[in-house]
Structure 1
Amino acid sequence: MNANFTRNKNLNLILFSCCVVLVTAGMTSCKKYLDVVPDNVATIEHAFANRTEAEKVLFTCYSYLPDDGHPDLSAGLNGGDELWTYWPITQDAYYLDPYNIARGLQNPTTPNLNYWDDVGGKNLWQAIRMCNIFLENINKVSDIDPFLKNRWISEAKFLKAYYHWYMFRQYGPIPVMDKNLEITASPGAVKVYRLPVDSVVHYISDLIDDAVSGKDANLPDKIANQTTELGRVTKPAALAIKARLLVTAASPLFNGNSDFSGLKNNNGQVLFNATYDPSKWQKAATACKAAIDAAEKAGSTLYHFNAVGYNLDDATKTEMSIRNAMCEKWNNELIWGGTSGTITDNLQLYACPQINPNEINLDLKGKLAPTLKMAELFYTNHGVPIDEDKTWDYAGRYQLRATQATDTLLQPNYRTAALHFDREPRFYADLGFDGAKWFMKNGLFNIQSKAEEYSGKKQSRLYSVTGYFAKKVVNWNLVESKTSVTLETYPWPIMRLSDLYLLYAEALNESGQGAAALPYLNRIRERAGLNSVESSWTTYSKNPGKFNSMTGLRSIIQQERGIELAFEGSRFWDLRRWKTAPQVLSQPVYGWDVNQKSFEDYNRRVLLFTQRFEGPKDYLWPIKESDLQINPNLVQNPGW
């Protein structure tokens, strides 16, 4: 498929090189088990000699799924403006790729998070090739029930589509690797071309359809054997990814984008259609509704915390419904959970500060710092933006303010910025900050994070550079002691029902059905303890009729996505597909003055960095220059 393809074209005969391991067990408790093939030689005949060996190949197809829940490997988490960290990072990261992207250090010589070639040992062209090997040889297995074989084939087809989708989202128009080339293929056949955006989207969509409803398709509606199969693909998961694909394809980045009109193959083939097609939004809405119907039929619902056995007030119950929608493993809102790599262990350790002054443990780094911009994104307690609420003092948001007895979500007899008062429940559920409370299963803790305090900066590392902490991503079962940290991992939420509702609401609005979008927004808001869009805007907003226009409702939907899916890797990609990244990601990154000890000095906004997003260059990943040299039929993305 490129240099890697040329080097490995003999994989039609040799299944794995010595660097590829076989994953032999399902995603049980988010763990994998390695199996060594005798003599480290795996031929096609051996790999498909029986059901057991063939299943190893299927799990190897799964093993390439990117580690999106690892903060050092996720562009969505650390490549944008949601989270920030101290710089330079000298010993608190395995990889610097996403942090480099956030700081404008992407480059075509050694691209960051370059899944075209390799990220953490994962090459997605090799992943696609492995899926093809499986599909081309599974019929050789004689001791497998046809029902099960059809399920495996459906899974491999979906994974093949997903890897193409993942590459498409990064690089835009890509080659399609529908079949593995023969080892006798000519040099010209190896030098493939990128295909136009619409062709790539149609290919991925059709392949998912084949996996879901094609002849002999057999994806389950839900996972029946939760002991061995959690993390495997289901029909709702496949349909949800199709929905995400089609919403992305209908969005401004890929639908009528003239910025890329000059991107052509060297044979003159145009790779971006510059003509806007409104029907793409209706297709996306149809796909979203099909995915929602399948998910709800399989038992998916918005998560609500089960408070039985806990004596919690209503505010804490709401907070736990918000936090555990992400952190309670395999809850009923999760449509597809990622189980690749270390899952969310590192994420939690990076995010959680010292919350117990009597049990300090440096494994809790507290360095994944939400930006001040994100703190300002959340609504007021009236469910509207802070600059729209006619009862909220937007101009005085940075002033120091003392807590009163009625401020039950903040520490009593404390002082903190006015920005932290009278905010919506998701603000307090998602963010920790100086003066906040942090509820865990083993107790209620106070966050005090001024310089030298137990949650604050005491040295040149292991602290929040903004003064905020990503509480949302920390499972409430985490317990620290002086000698250990015990945490409960959870699958990375590749797709949950609230995300799907928001995608559907967006597609409905963009296809002229704004009124039909509101119920799906309101379901999410109700879980978050807010009134409906209609009620909140009519009563409290300076622009009470905002939700009645497509443009106004678009703004509401986009902010709702930013809040509901904060720190889940969505914003990075949303800002790109909406083509709002040049404005949003070219703003200063601010935080509080974490070097200060007094209330007055600490609660002072300071500039940390000024990001710069260059369009159209930064919308798409660069293809590595050496790949372009090996295959001259590949053209570079604009600006690189």
Structure 2
Amino acid sequence: MKKYAYILLLSICFLSACQKGFLDQGPLDKFTDDMIWKDSSLVNLYIANIYSGIISQYDRAGGELMMSITDEGEANRPYLQSQQVNLGQYNSSTGVFADVWTSGYTSIRKCNQLLDQLQSAPFSAALQQRMRGEAYFLRAYFYMEIYAHFGAFPIIQKPLGLTDELAIPRATPQECIRFIVQDLETAASLLPVKHEAAQTGRATQGACYAMKCRLLLNTLDYQGAADAAQKVIDLKQYQLFPDFKSLFQPGNDNNVEVIFDKQFGSLQSKQKHSLNDYEYPRNFTGFASGINDPTQNIVDAFMMKDGKPWNTSSLYNPEQPYANRDPRFYSSVLYDGIFFRGEVLDLQKGSAANPSDRGTPTGYYLKKFLDTTYDLKGVSVPNFNNCIIMRLAEIYLNYAECQLKLGNTEEARTYVNLIRVRAGMPVIPAGEMTWDKYVEERTVELAFEGQRWFDIRRWQKGPELIGQPIYGMVVNVVNGKRTYSRTKIEDRVFTAPMMYLFPIPLDVLNKYPAGKELRQNPEWK
């Protein structure tokens, strides 16, 4: 038990640094298990530490953003693991997304310890209920992440002692899905629909149903996913935020569209991230940034404002390729000629924004999540804007996909059009809703948010969408006139079905003793 006390004390040191006087309750070496699990303030900090273990897209900024292992993005650092993935040059010893497994099980252990200790904690019934609900939700969340990346996993639902069997085999996929769903349903029965302001960021009923919806959609249970989405909608707690372009700005943290997010700089996570430092163009930072960059492939996915593709619309002008686009394009991508933060962005190769050394290989930079008020010239400043993990637009799209698969095309059209209206795009007329239109809408609405890879796996389109050439845009100036030329950046590899799951890291496999080996994903043996 002392090892858990030690872990908790480290958490307290990390999470309570700005709570002046908090640690005056007693010297750190005087905390005992009895003190910890009988003090609701300490347990709240323990739970906050579990939230901080969530690995969000913002935590991955400057490294392995999910966008850069799909057709959405290209990383401009050859040493990043995303480059190994894109070229098919990885295996179990590479450790791709190893932190999802190792950090995930660390957090799962904390959830199990929390559930065990709460059985005898002297707290009110209401507080006990909320804490147990959070523990079940968080355990489900971390198992979901492991399942999404690696497939079936060993199910551990209690704190393991020295006398317990530690070499636990992987369960079946069906057992894993049932276990996660059960945890989410239990959490939903315990958690409130909404927390008071002081508890903003904690899991709610809506977050439970939303995660259940995502899980069941990705496992092709369309009716189950639709039912979960309907529960989120029926709560009437969420609305589409009216202004897409400022949806992700820090001034709009915790807005009406957010169902669940990772809170930075709050009680739930006194962490910071470095997304703005790593992803801003070079001329704004003064150092090597702009690491994960949008591709021409994703730029081409943004329709013209008449709702037609760029290559069939009369609105497209090759001399002004970025005019008359879906308004979400201007909120998601930094392109040549955009007016951004007081200047016109020049993305010619060799410019201040796109230097020859570590500029953007695609001719674009990410814009969607950047804090447009962030001042970082030549210095690294703490980033505290929240990372949205689940929002209502995804639930609408999930629901629409389910309805299409279930044959309810007009119901799907209704929810897709809600998102298009918010975006300022023309609605899809009655009788014209198609699967391709749905995919187009999902692609641009959720661009760069970390779900594209899982969407492509669900649709079994890896070779077609990931294993194809990646393109960028080259900007030239001839006689004072700017010209734009599509150019191939990279030929990518996607071997199906092997690459739909990542290999379990070798370090994890090696922890199992001979005769009790952890089963590797079959194609990666």
Q: Does the TM-score normalized on the shorter chain lie above 0.5? A: yes
Shift of 1:287: 0.7
In the alignment, structure 1 residue 66 sits paired with structure 2 residue 66: no
2:224 equivalent in structure 1: 283
In the alignment, structure 1 residue 454 sits paired with structure 2 residue 348: no
In the alignment, structure 1 residue 383 sits paired with structure 2 residue 307: yes
Q: Structure 2 matches for 1:37-186, cutoff 5 A?
A: 38=27, 44-70=33-59, 71-72=61-62, 74-88=64-78, 96-115=80-99, 117-118=101-102, 123-142=103-122, 144-185=123-164
What one-letter code is carried by the residue in structure 2 that aligns with 1:101? V
1:325 equivalent in structure 2: 247
* CA deviation vs aligned residue, 1:306-351 (integer Å, no higher than 9, x gap): xxxxxxxxxxxxxxx2221222322211111113679785222323
Cα 1:23/1:526, change in 2 over 3 Å:
farther
8 Å contact 2:294–2:362 — kept in the other structure? Answer: yes
**How far apart in 2 are the matches of 1:24 and 1:517?**
49
**How far apart in 1 are the matches of 2:520 and 2:483?**
46
* CA deviation vs aligned residue, 1:178-228 (integer Å, no higher than 9, x gap): 22334322xxx3322212212211111111111111xxx2x22223124xx
**How far apart in 1 are the matches of 2:16 and 2:488?**
43
8 Å contact 1:74–1:569 — kept in the other structure? Answer: no
Cα 1:25/1:115, change in 2 over 3 Å:
closer
1:301 equivalent in structure 2: 239
SS at match of 1:521: helix
> Which of 505, 509, 512 in structure 1 is aligned with 2:404?
509
Q: Structure 2 matches for 1:320-469, cutoff 5 A?
A: 321-327=243-249, 328-339=252-263, 345-353=273-281, 361-363=285-287, 365-387=289-311, 389=312, 391=314, 399=318, 401=319, 416=320, 419-438=321-340, 440=341, 444-457=342-355, 459-461=356-358, 463-469=359-365
Q: Structure 2 matches for 1:149-228, cutoff 5 A?
A: 149-185=128-164, 189-213=165-189, 217=190, 219-226=191-198
**How far apart in 2 are the matches of 1:130 and 1:32?**
26
Aligned residues: 512
In the alignment, structure 1 residue 620 sits paired with structure 2 residue 501: yes
What one-letter code is carried by the residue in structure 1 that aligns with 2:38? A
Q: CA RMSD in A?
A: 3.2
Shift of 1:23: 4.4
Shift of 1:597: 5.3
**How far apart in 1 are the matches of 2:20 and 2:329?**
36
For structure 2, the residue ranges without an aligned partner over 5 or more in a row are none
**How far apart in 1 are the matches of 2:272 and 2:459?**
28
Shift of 1:77: 3.3
8 Å contact 1:22–1:34 — kept in the other structure? Answer: no
8 Å contact 2:363–2:473 — kept in the other structure? Answer: yes
Cα 1:176/1:361, change in 2 over 3 Å:
closer
Cα 1:66/1:572, change in 2 over 3 Å:
same
Shift of 1:486: 7.0
> Which of 509, 522, 525 in structure 2 is aligned with 1:638?
522
**How far apart in 2 are the matches of 1:604 and 1:342?**
45
SS at match of 1:593: strand
2:207 equivalent in structure 1: 237
1:309 equivalent in structure 2: none
8 Å contact 1:128–1:160 — kept in the other structure? Answer: yes
**How far apart in 2 are the matches of 1:73 and 1:86?**
10
8 Å contact 2:5–2:33 — kept in the other structure? Answer: no
Cα 1:593/1:126, change in 2 over 3 Å:
same
Shift of 1:487: 8.3
Cα 1:488/1:14, change in 2 over 3 Å:
closer
In the alignment, structure 1 residue 590 sits paired with structure 2 residue 471: yes
Aligned identity (percent) is 26
8 Å contact 1:176–1:194 — kept in the other structure? Answer: yes
8 Å contact 1:344–1:491 — kept in the other structure? Answer: no
* CA deviation vs aligned residue, 1:436-485 (integer Å, no higher than 9, x gap): 223x5xxx53212213433232x412x222111212221232346x5668
Q: TM (normalized to structure 1)?
A: 0.73
Cα 1:422/1:365, change in 2 over 3 Å:
same
8 Å contact 2:503–2:521 — kept in the other structure? Answer: yes
8 Å contact 1:337–1:494 — kept in the other structure? Answer: yes
Shift of 1:584: 0.7
8 Å contact 1:86–1:367 — kept in the other structure? Answer: yes
Shift of 1:565: 0.8
**How far apart in 2 are the matches of 1:454 and 1:237?**
43
Cα 1:390/1:39, change in 2 over 3 Å:
closer
Cα 1:292/1:73, change in 2 over 3 Å:
farther
What one-letter code is carried by the residue in structure 2 that aligns with 1:335? I
Higher RCO by CA contacts (8 Å cutoff, separation 6 or greater): 2
SS at match of 1:133: helix
* CA deviation vs aligned residue, 1:218-273 (integer Å, no higher than 9, x gap): x22223124xx3321111112111111111111xxxxxxxxxxxxxxxxxxxxxxx
> Which of 552, 565, 582 in structure 1 is aligned with 2:446?
565
8 Å contact 2:74–2:294 — kept in the other structure? Answer: yes
Cα 1:475/1:491, change in 2 over 3 Å:
same
Shift of 1:156: 0.6
In the alignment, structure 1 residue 15 sits paired with structure 2 residue 4: yes
**How far apart in 2 are the matches of 1:635 and 1:13?**
32
8 Å contact 2:140–2:184 — kept in the other structure? Answer: yes
**How far apart in 2 are the matches of 1:509 and 1:484?**
49
SS at match of 1:22: helix
**How far apart in 2 are the matches of 1:132 and 1:170?**
22
Q: TM (normalized to structure 2)?
A: 0.88
Larger CA deviation: 598-607 vs 204-213: 598-607
Cα 1:362/1:162, change in 2 over 3 Å:
same
